[in-house]
A and B are shown apart, each in its own frame.
Chain A
């Protein structure tokens, strides 16, 4: 993955202006700390949901980190995103325990219901579907997480039902 993440040229969409002032408190906090690169990027992602290009440039200019180092770090760690994500991120666990309890069925059903591939975002921007390795709730396998809420002992259709409930409440 690490290799694939680097080898595939990341398409960076232009989404218009982003409010860069939001970064100021973060930069203040970490500016003079050793090893600040990862917390800075994590903080930026918390603000925007992903890391927009202008944010990289501002961080580079004001913290003294090199753009190339930043790109290297962002493409190494699975957590970082270079493109916007949906409002709700659905993380389906594909750890060992969930795998043997048929986590594949969850992903397959969700893919079909959301009409996206693994890693993709729905057209209405509501959901992003992701696979993760182990959420630490292996005793409730198979497990998925939406936002900060974890759901266990699921079947494909139950997973879809939970997603649809969120969609209905969003559309009202």
Chain B
């Protein structure tokens, strides 16, 4: 077998320098006329070890982590030329265990089955991994539309876009509504800031999503397909375009697909234009039609009247990527994983103050603690775990004492957060929960489309109260006012954006009320984040008298001669924090 050298070129890898590593290896290979096959793949989920280079030879597989240009040459020199693998850089191998095994051993990869293993720009590699076998199975065994839908119903899969609605049931509704024109839409708007699994699937295995759409189109008799992808993901869009071209050339898209008479279907990409609310299905449809992305009242649901007023089915990227696997392996095989009401596996994007950030796919029912501490390796810098944010702007913060909650739709809902798209942003003791709540409110307030009064003005009032609290202007009664506004916004908003916007505030009040009270009553921020509530003092042992703080202080509150210890006049200080960020000697203390 010819030795293979595979470089991970997902967005995250490229940001960490993988493209340069690839170019370096390529140039070296050519200059030295070396014999090995240089290949590309996407992200395997180990973002914390990027850039990743895998070498597969006759002896086994070696995944090397944190490979910069210099190390890349070292690898080629030692592993390829001298045939001695560089064990110290290996993060995963089929020959021996590494510390990173904890990250992978409990994962079950269904959605991410090909991510990081195949070249996403090459349809043959997807086919070699049983790709397009599900749609061939449907054609070959003449599985009827109802058989396909029944398989999806029995698998128990629920929508991965956040709502958790059973996918099979949704397809059934769309199938029941007869029309000569029908649409299937893939929702790739991935609006939750802090979640990146859809991007990773699109970049790493675009054909899986296309095959999922083709199967869905067959099941509901769709005539047209649209992928609505956010413009911030240029690489995903590029790889989708390539994949669609290849699928058309091979006859997986087009007329009478795989000989199924009358099954004619094609897919187009629509680029989003930057609006979170367009992830909501009715707003998304308006946006595809070229209008402002305003949600509308349901019913009629898209299954009855969607794109161009025709029956339309909308599914999330991750949902669709699972479909071919389910058809190939059968419903029972999928339903084997998970809990009673949440079947299968779920991808989580780990980020924030966690040691191993990246993508993991685990069976539903694993505890949040295991995801964060076992797979994720716990908290960075030995700090204390405080909370994990799930569900983004629609979700909430789950505190440390509820970390044994298992991941399934209903258990996560019971905490006041939601499963959402599967972003997990981990927070430690240095994160201020009021600041986090304010961050989300600021987000939803800006993204509110403005249609419903409560969502438009209510969120603004909540943001003002939160801002006051973080600036030391909080008053008794603010917490109650926040709660009252929250319930009114939830009750009186048309779409999911408004109905869930108060969740980050409600969960932080529920679990971190003492922190709100410290801000409001004692004018203190226990996590030392809210600058206006801190006291700044010069640490006399570290101060070198360099005068940088005094020069930069906007109100001249700092005095002291050159080379002498400086002093901050607390009566003049406005707590702006400039001295703290400017000091190079860690001589400004905050308390």
Contact = CB atoms under 8 A, between A and B. Distances in A.
Interface in B274-327: 274-277, 287-293, 308
Most buried by A among B193, B389, B446: B193
A34 B274 contact: no
A138 B194 contact: yes
Given A133-B276, A136-B233, A138-B196, A37 B290 contact: yes
A110 interface: no
Given A38-B290, A133-B276, A134-B194, A139 B423 contact: no
B231 A79 contact: yes
Given A76-B292, A95-B193, A96-B392, A2 B439 contact: no
A152 B273 contact: no
Contacts of A99: 436, 439
A21 to B, nearest CB: 24
Given A2-B275, A78-B273, A101-B352, A96 B425 contact: yes
B386 to A, nearest CB: 10
Interface stretch (B7-15, B94-102, B168-176): B7-15
B292 A138 contact: no
Interface string B360-375: 0000000000000000
A23 B427 CA distance: 48
Contacts of A96: 192-194, 351-352, 389, 392, 423, 425, 439-440
Interface in B1-58: 11-12, 14-16, 47-48, 50
Interface in A87-144: 93-97, 99-101, 105, 108, 132-141, 143
A105 B511 CA distance: 28
Most buried by B among A1, A38, A95, A136: A136
Contacts of A133: 191, 193, 276, 443
A3 B425 contact: no
Contact of B292 (A1, A73, A143): A73
A108 B555 CA distance: 18
A96 B349 CA distance: 12
A73 B190 CA distance: 21
A42 B273 contact: yes
B15 A2 contact: no
B275 A73 contact: no
Nearest to B275: A77
B358 interface: yes
Contact of A38 (B192, B273, B357, B389): B273
A132 B232 contact: yes
B289 A139 contact: no
A10 interface: no
Given A2-B275, A2-B447, A140-B15, A35 B289 contact: yes
Nearest to A94: B193
Nearest to B436: A100
A140 B66 CA distance: 13
Contacts of A150: 11, 14-15
B478 to A, nearest CB: 22
Contacts of B277: 2
A134 B48 CA distance: 17
Contacts of A48: none
Given A38-B287, A134-B194, A156-B581, A139 B12 contact: yes
Nearest to A4: B446
A2 B446 contact: yes
Interface in A1-23: 1-4, 6
B450 interface: yes
Interface in A55-94: 69, 72-73, 76-80, 93-94
Contact of B47 (A37, A39, A93, A140): A140
Task: Give the interface size bracket for B toward A.
Answer: 35 or more
Contacts of A100: 352-353, 425, 427, 431, 436
Contact of A78 (B275, B351, B436, B440): B275
A74 B425 CA distance: 32
A4 to B, nearest CB: 8
Task: Give the interface size bracket for A toward B.
Answer: 35 or more
A36 interface: yes
Contact of B446 (A1, A76, A80, A143): A1
A32 interface: no
Given A77-B293, A96-B425, A100-B353, A3 B448 contact: yes
Contacts, number: 150
Given A2-B448, A133-B193, A141 B351 contact: yes
B489 interface: no
A139 B16 CA distance: 10
A97 B47 CA distance: 14
Nearest to B277: A2
Given A136-B196, A139-B358, A3 B290 contact: no
B431 A139 contact: no
B471 interface: no
Contacts of A135: 11, 232
B351 A138 contact: yes
B234 interface: yes
Contacts of A94: 193
Given A34-B308, A79-B231, A97-B194, A136 B11 contact: yes
Nearest to A132: B232
Interface in B405-441: 423, 425, 427, 431, 436, 439-440
B425 to A, nearest CB: 5
A150 B10 CA distance: 12
A149 B445 CA distance: 29
A139 to B, nearest CB: 3
Contact of B234 (A2, A38, A101, A148): A148
B350 interface: yes
Nearest to B354: A139
Contacts of B275: 2, 76-78
Most buried by B among A69, A77, A143, A152: A77
B456 A3 contact: yes
Interface string B53-73: 000000000000000000000
Given A100-B425, A134-B196, A141-B357, 17 more contacts: A34-B308, A79-B274, A96-B425, A96-B440, A97-B352, A97-B425, A100-B427, A135-B11, A136-B196, A138-B349, A139-B48, A139-B351, A139-B357, A140-B15, A140-B47, A152-B12, A156-B581
Interface of B: 11-12, 14-16, 47-48, 50, 190-196, 199, 231-234, 270-271, 273-277, 287-293, 308, 349-353, 357-358, 389, 392, 423, 425, 427, 431, 436, 439-440, 443, 445-450, 456, 581
14 contacts: A35-B290, A38-B287, A42-B231, A42-B273, A76-B293, A77-B274, A77-B275, A95-B194, A96-B194, A137-B196, A138-B423, A139-B349, A141-B351, A150-B11
